[in-house]
Structure 1
Amino acid sequence: MTDDGKIVLVTGASSGNGEATARLLAASGHHVVLGARRTDRLRALVKEIHDAGGTAQEHALDVTDAAAVRSFVDAAVAEHGGIDVLVNNAGVMPLSKLEAGRVHEWDRMIDVNVRGVRHGIAAALPVMRRQGHGQFVNVASIGAHEVSPTAAVYCATKYAVWAISEGLRQEVGAGIRVTVISPGVTESELAESIADPVGREEMRTYRAHAIPASAVAGAIAFAIDRPATVDVNEIVVRPTAQV
């Protein structure tokens, strides 16, 4: 880790945007603390980062469990004396039309996409208040700005991430930065997890053009690496071909 390296916590780090972000930040000299449920993937990722000369740690983490998120943050504070950035990245996307009535999937989406972010803020904000500095990077979606068929509930969760982030920004004042990253169509495993056949087909069409997760990681790294006096509040990053 370089002298300018930060302690950066990343949730949902076992794949997709979280994994790409971990790799890029570690390669840039930051120490990454990675949380996800799939600990086998985390261990492999941490080894790869170490082998490449970076520093990283892994923790089993389910963001729907508020106590687990507090433990994730507290462990980093105990190990490093504080934290600089929390990237609230964990998310799920089981798309379906409202008429499909897949309530259990919608509940899961709310638990991960909204409560997960709330749990991260609740755990890390007191630490950042004591330090007098810190940054939240909350990963929303282009779905925070537009709604499409099969995505009503998903878009609602991502609009909630945007709204919570903006409220947080207004509340914290100087010293603590708040950034929302809103990716468009991105290569990830999320589409493969869609069980509803209509939602799955809609997403296949929508994903005709997709940017790599590294593009989202680059946006996150840009926001983190700005001077402390600069607060990048939102970045929308999507394929050039996406209408």
Structure 2
Amino acid sequence: MPDRLDGTAALITGASSGIGEAAARALAEQGAAVALVARRAERLETLATELRDRGGSALTIAADVADEQQARDAVELTVAELGRLDTLVNNAGVMLLGPAVHAPIDEWRRMVDVNLLGLLYCAHAALPHLLRAADGDPRRVADLVNISSVAGRRATRGSGVYNATKHAVGAFSEALRQEVTARHVRVSLVEPGAVETELLSHNRPEILAELDQRFTGLERLRSADIADAVSYIVTRPRHVAVNEVLIRPTEQEA
């Protein structure tokens, strides 16, 4: 039977919208106390109020995970306030697309800083606590879930640096899985296809026009669809590890 998350604590990055917000709802519904981490404090407070009104426990932490100290502080504050850390959902990310020729380098830097380094900072800070949670009770297991993308499996023109960051997340996830799996810390990679979120909205207008044309008529995934996968992963029995999940809209070909 699946395990509920009562008595556990989960930290979700990028929790102010999209997949992170939906994942926070899903894990709270399973009984976890959730730490909501993102830069937009007002949105986090709105979500936290909603979760508390439903009987859940929620902590808000305004932080930019691309800053190593802020990422570390977010993890430590979670443990200090919630008493433990059993689940980390590394969801924060940016997707800034376009041709490599004449690309704004600051866009590349931001993707590397958030999608890769931010994920690494959070994982590094969280691992001692996850290992402690899993080692401390033979009935327990800890989870580190990295949200990647179908872009981490295949490269396409106009998204080279985004592809690079997501391929790196996949490689790190598998290597880390091999390091900690014998200690009952499960490392999972979730790779969504096209999802209806704010992620695309930060692109330049000419890129948005091209993306609209590319995905015209496609029924995209909802954030809740990905949150369902996260919830499924972290509620498996202790002896079951779901290491990788690729989720595309039914109509998405590539």
Q: Return the TM-score normalized by structure 2.
A: 0.91
The one of 180, 194, 204 equivalent to 2:203 is 194
**1:9/1:151 CA distance change after superposition, 3 Å:** same
1:242 aligns with 2:240: no
Contact 1:96 1:102 in 2 (8 A): no
Specify which of 221, 232, 235 is matched with residue 225 of structure 1: 235
Per the TM alignment, residue 31 of structure 1 is displaced from its structure 2 partner at its CA by: 1.2
For residue 66 of structure 1, what is the aligned residue in structure 2? 68
Write the distance in 2 (CA, Å) between the matches of 1:148 and 1:49. Answer: 39
- Give distance in 1, aligned partners of 2:13 and 2:127: 16
Note the C-alpha offset of 1:29: 1.7
CA distance in 1, matches of 2:12, 2:202: 21
Work out whether 1:52 is the aligned partner of 2:54: yes
Identity of aligned residues (%): 42
Distance 1:165 1:189, change over 3 A: same
Aligned residues of 2:59 and 2:78 also touching (Cα < 8 A):
no
Partner of 2:223: 213
1:182 aligns with 2:177: no
Match of 1:81 in 2: 83
Give aligned pairs, total.
Answer: 241
Matched, 1:10 2:12: yes
Are residues 1:30 and 2:48 paired?
no
Tell me if the contact between 1:94 and 1:196 (Cα under 8 Å) persists in the aligned partners: no
Aligned amino acid, residue 172 of structure 1? V
Residue 39 (structure 1) shift: 0.3
Separation in 1 of the partners of 2:208 and 2:70? 31
Instruction: Tell me the alpha carbon deviations over residues 67-108 of structure 1, each in whole angstroms, 9 at most, x when there is no partner.
Output: 111111111212233210000000001111101321110011
Match of 1:104 in 2: 106
The one of 146, 170, 175 equivalent to 1:162 is 170
Distance in structure 2 (CA, Å) of the matches to 1:129 and 1:47: 30
Q: Which amino acid aligns with 1:220?
A: V
Partner amino acid for 2:23? T
Three-state SS of the structure 1 residue aligned to 2:175 is helix
Structure 2: where are the runs of 5+ without partners?
136-140
Amino acid at match of 1:227: P
Q: Which residue identity does 1:165 align to in structure 2?
A: S
TM-score normalized by the length of structure 1 = 0.95
Aligned equivalents of 2:5, 2:16: Cα separation in 1: 27
Q: Separation in 2 of the partners of 1:128 and 1:217?
A: 21
